[in-house]
Amino acid sequence: MLIDKNSTVKRLNRIEGQVRGIKKMIEEERYCIDVLQQMQAIKAALSKVEDAILKDHSNTCVASAIASGNKKEQQQKFGELVDFIARYKGS
């Protein structure tokens, strides 16, 4: 794994705090648009974490399978990547 684990965990902790903040906003019956804006910020932050992990997977697991020369492993890793992207594309 190439991603910086410490910075990723910090980012996830920040997201966790944002989610708690939204919960509090809802309990306090804050303005809906304010809540929605915070939700968009969380989605953007999660997307950045997802991108980093996806890039890491490509640079490590997929690259390792390609370098191995093992056709079955190459097909498996590439298939996992394609399936993941297809499953979540446009969601």
pLDDT tens-digit readout, 48-77: 999 999 999 989 999 999 999 999 999 999
Mean pLDDT of the chain: 93
Helix (H), strand (E) at residue 74: helix 71-88
Say if residues 48 and 4 touch (Cβ distance below 8 Å): no
Q: Which domains does the chain have, with CATH numbers?
A: 5-88 (1.20.58.1000)
12-46 pLDDT per residue, tens: 999 999 999 999 999 999 999 999 999 999 999 99
pLDDT of residue 3: 74
Residue appearing with tokens 């648009």:
33
